[in-house]
Structure 1
Amino acid sequence: MVFSCVTRNMFSVLHLLALVLISITPLCSSYTPSDKVTKELVVQLCSKPTLYKNFCIAWLFSDPKTLTLDLHGLLGMVIEKTQGFGFRTIKLTKGLVNTTTDPNLKMIYGSCLTDYEQSTKGIEIAKGYASSKVYFSAFMAAYKAMMAISDCETLIEAQPIPAYFSRRVVMFERMCSTGMVFSKVLKEGK
């Protein structure tokens, strides 16, 4: 149990260091919200520090709408898709909490449910800021969302959790991270 607490605190410190690195490292100031999204732009954006490039590229190109948007619209789409995924996972997690008979799993799912609810609320806040083009606030809200779900990710590490649930947690964290970095890119471009 002590190891779990130490591990959780270590991951929190690592995420805080990532935020500091992202905050002080300019990603690129040549982007503007009205830039047309191209394949090249997606690859450039998905290559930014802290993003999982292969995930980001595959996720964005899986939606045919991606190449019809401008950069502001792309951020909106990322946040919208992240929020939808979060809502679906909350529903799934509530079902797991209600159906599992293992008390340890019930506690883990319950904790992750709280983290998903906090994280999805953060994404909802980021959505409002992004639509109003207040990109720094969208960045901060997406960061808080990523931190909330990373708590669940830390909790389930080395636990006998079904792989499909672990994958959803990792995917959601990567989605939150993408929204955070894209908000940062737009904040710098203004």
Structure 2
Amino acid sequence: MACSCVIRHIFSILPLLVILSITPLSSSYSINDKITKELINQLCSQPTIYNHFCVAWVTSVAKTFNLDLQGLVYLLYQKTELLGSKNLEMIKDLERTETEPKLKIPYGSCVKEYELSNRAIEEAKEFASANSKAYLSASKAASRAFDSISMCEAYLEGLKLPDHVSTRNLWFEGMCNIDKIFSDLLI
């Protein structure tokens, strides 16, 4: 008798366990989560993120640990926008001073891609603002920015470039990727 009662209870909760096991859990992150070292480590361990770069970049501003997750995402878009502007100026300078057509043309193409990318990051930042909280739109805009920088890298592939050009393009690309993934976590 006691055995049938236990079996009945198990079978009554079994459907719930099956549903829980096959239903994807929603993001365990909330825009109100306070930023801690542990949270940054969790966020930066998402697939396709280079962890060491992410942790160093995210923690490079002292006020990071005074923010919630929404504030962090917005701050990261601001930082990405700043580097994108600096990189655009770098590429424009290279295009302006380059005399070799083999380099001048790809630099010109990169200027256009950086302009597109920077506009996309500006849009993403607005979508991720406290007023908007449109994280899906922010993610899509960050993805467009990433794609534009990937195109710039493709134009420059195989060319002899100053070392800092490739490094700064990779940093910007990594930032766009992190922006997109962090925005995805808030959708």
What's the counterpart of residue 61 of structure 1? Answer: 59
SS at match of 2:49: coil
- Partner deviation per Cα, 1:140-180 (whole Å, 9 max, x = no partner): 11011101111112222222111100111111000000100
Partner residue of 2:174?
174
Distance 1:27 1:73 in 2: 24
1:65 and 1:27, CA in 2 relative to 1: closer, same or farther beyond 3 A? farther
Q: Distance in 1 between matches of 2:83 and 2:161?
A: 19
Q: How big is the shift at 1:62?
A: 1.4
Instruction: Summarize the Cα distance change of 1:60–1:28 in structure 2 as closer, same or farther, 3 Å threshold.
Output: farther
Contact 1:80/1:127 (<8 A) preserved: yes
Aligned to 1:47: 45
Q: Does 1:146 align with 2:146?
A: yes
Matched, 1:70 2:76: no
Give the gaps of 5 or more residues in structure 2. Answer: 1-23
Q: Structure with the greater relative contact order (CA < 8 A, sep ≥ 6): 1 or 2?
A: 1
> C-alpha displacement at 1:28, in angstroms?
6.0
- For residue 130 of structure 1, report the CA deviation from its aligned partner: 0.6
Question: Shift in Å at residue 117 of structure 1?
Answer: 0.6
Q: Distance in 2 between matches of 1:49 and 1:33?
A: 20
**Structure of higher CA gyration radius:** 2
5+ residue gaps, structure 1, are 1-25
> Aligned residues, how many?
162
Q: CA deviation at 1:27?
A: 9.2
Q: TM-score, normalised by structure 2?
A: 0.83
- Tell me the equivalent position of 1:7: none
Q: Does 1:81 align with 2:79?
A: yes
Identity %: 47
Match of 2:136 in 1: 136
Which deviates more, 26-35 or 58-67?
26-35
Provide runs of 4+ in structure 1 moved above 4 Å.
none
Sort the Cα spacing of 1:102 and 1:68 in 2 relative to 1 into closer, same or farther, 3 A. Answer: same
Matched with 2:15 is none
Superposition CA RMSD, Å: 1.3
Amino acid at match of 2:77: I
Partner amino acid, structure 2, of 1:169: N
CA distance 1:27–1:171, shift in 2 (3 Å): farther
* Alpha-carbon distance between aligned partners in 2 of 1:104 and 1:70, rounded to the nearest angstrom: 47
